[in-house]
């Protein structure tokens, strides 16, 4: 039901589940949205996003990145129905069962919880849109397979070795109570100390994400008139960040390289009408291939930081440590002053972009190139020396 590919040098190369699990090392698995799950959107843009959010750079040990998608004929209608069915009725999809059978608890897995926990500690899931729903479905299936109940706290702790970051989620995280009951976290269940998730998870959601709102009817965001710029809540093992900053515009300024090597000015200021584009969540201030990219929301660097921390801590989790990435990456949001600062920095960067666009529109072509050059130079200066190990609230990482 699923096929897998490894992301390597901008290409997506087919692999088997056995090839993913064979190395004794952590890996990332990206589960994309409705289009991705049906084989649409696999190209340089997605490869670049995955490279950026997992920071496959010279200062970190390489962690392989894989993607999973449906192996059957593309049918977005079938996948969309599965998305709504899980939220409304908790109906589990064939793809979720396949994910568990292929990677989380393969047929030859040892039944010992300690061994299972060590195997699960290698797994770092990144779910976007419906991909996050598949993660929640797989969590339920794995819990059932391992015999989760009120008397099996050790099973929940075993499953906590799996890390997951959910981007633009369309399914609420599970919260398990030690009295045996299971609930779904939403904006009305804030910091419930008597609950924990099964997987260790972070959720990042734009408050004006129209796809999320259509599926979940504000279950995770709450009423728009009752929230500040950032809302953070969760359980002992789950953190949910609802970002009300910024807007739904994608911003880029720089040059497009033509076939002859000529660089032609380019400015993108594109409204994503659904407010759900993966780039809205992940775009940080950066310069790549003569293009300056500007952020859409304030929490993009924190999301990227959480993904990198998740992968980096896998080895320690394999040796018995507990997952902490979702707590550590978001703890800065507990301070009102920190939230105000990152919102101010976001507004400043978006104003810089707006001024560059305004000046370019009033300039000649030659003067316009000068404006772009100065903007790119200033952007490069702002991001120089940035490292994923630095504080995710640092303005340079926006």
What does the pLDDT look like over 100-130, one tens digit per residue?
Answer: 999 999 976 666 888 999 999 999 999 999 9
Q: Beginning with the edge strand found earlier in the chain, give each strand of the sheet holding 174-177 in spatial order.
A: 182-184, 174-177, 195-196
Least confident piece of the model among 23-27, 203-207, 377-381: 377-381
Instruction: Report which of 235, 270, 271 is spatially closest to residue 253, judged by C-alpha positions.
Output: 270
Instruction: Report which of 107, 142, 108, 110 is spatially closest to residue 123, judged by C-alpha positions.
Output: 142
Same domain, 221 and 323: yes
Residue ranges making up the domain that contains 127: 2-247+297-331
Contact between 68 and 109 under an 8 Å Cβ cutoff? The reply is no
Number of H helices and E strands in the chain, helices first, is: 15, 16
Same domain, 143 and 212: yes
Same domain, 343 and 255: yes
- Which of 311, 331, 351 is a domain's end point? 331
Q: Which SS3 state, helix, strand or coil, does residue 322 take? A: coil
Same domain, 320 and 255: no
Domain total in the chain = 2
**pLDDT tens, 67-97?**
999 987 889 999 999 999 999 999 999 999 9
Query: What is the rounded radius of gyration, in angstroms, for the C-alpha atoms of the chain?
Result: 21
Same domain, 220 and 263: no
Same domain, 189 and 203: yes
What distance in Å separates the CA atoms of residue 376 and residue 387, rounded to the nearest whole number? 19
- Which of 307, 331, 355 is a domain's end point? 331
Q: Which SS3 state, helix, strand or coil, does residue 151 take? A: coil
Same domain, 85 and 105: yes
User: CATH no. for residue 311?
Assistant: 3.40.50
pTM greater than 0.85: yes
Same domain, 176 and 318: yes
Q: Beginning with the edge strand found earlier in the chain, give each strand of the sheet holding 263-271 in spatial order.
A: 263-271, 249-257, 291-294, 286-288
Same domain, 195 and 267: no
Q: What is the mean pLDDT of residues 343-352?
A: 91
């Amino acid at each position: 039901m699923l096929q897998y590919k490894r992301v390597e040098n901008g290409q997506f190369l087919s692999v088997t589940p056995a090839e993913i699990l064979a190395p004794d090392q952590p890996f990332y698995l990206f589960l994309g949205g409705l289009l991705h799950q049906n084989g649409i959107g696999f190209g340089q843009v997605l490869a670049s996003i995955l490279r950026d959010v997992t920071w496959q750079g010279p200062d970190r040990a390489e962690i392989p990145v894989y993607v999973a998608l449906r192996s059957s004929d593309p049918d977005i209608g079938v996948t969309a129905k599965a998305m709504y069915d899980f939220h409304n009725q908790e109906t589990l999809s064939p793809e979720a069962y396949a994910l568990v059978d292929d990677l989380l608890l393969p047929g030859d897995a040892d039944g010992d919880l300690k061994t299972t926990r060590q195997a699960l500690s290698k797994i770092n899931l990144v779910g976007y849109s419906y991909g996050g729903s598949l993660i929640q479905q797989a969590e339920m299936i794995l819990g059932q397979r391992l015999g989760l109940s009120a008397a099996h706290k050790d099973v929940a702790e075993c499953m906590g070795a799996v890390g997951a970051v959910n981007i633009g989620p369309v399914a609420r995280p599970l919260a398990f109570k030690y009295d045996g009951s299971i609930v779904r976290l939403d904006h009305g269940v804030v910091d419930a100390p008597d609950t924990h998730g099964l997987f260790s998870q972070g959720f990042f959601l734009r408050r004006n994400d129209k796809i999320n709102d259509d599926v979940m009817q504000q279950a995770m965001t709450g009423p728009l008139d009752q929230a500040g710029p950032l809302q953070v809540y969760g359980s002992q093992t789950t953190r949910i960040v609802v970002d009300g900053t910024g807007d739904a515009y994608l911003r880029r300024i720089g040059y497009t390289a033509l076939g002859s090597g000529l660089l032609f000015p380019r400015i993108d200021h594109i409204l994503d009408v659904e407010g759900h584009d993966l780039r809205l969540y992940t775009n940080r201030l950066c310069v790549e291939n003569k293009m300056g990219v500007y952020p859409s929301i304030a929490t993009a660097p924190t999301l990227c930081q959480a993904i990198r921390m998740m992968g980096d801590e896998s080895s320690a989790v394999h040796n018995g440590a507990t997952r902490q990435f979702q707590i550590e990456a978001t703890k800065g949001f507990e301070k009102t002053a920190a939230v105000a600062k990152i919102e101010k920095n976001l507004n400043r960067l978006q104003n810089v972009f707006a001024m560059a666009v305004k000046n370019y529109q009033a300039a000649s072509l030659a003067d316009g190139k000068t404006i772009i050059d100065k903007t790119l130079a200033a952007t490069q200066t702002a991001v120089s020396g940035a490292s994923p190990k630095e504080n995710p609230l640092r303005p340079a990482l926006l």
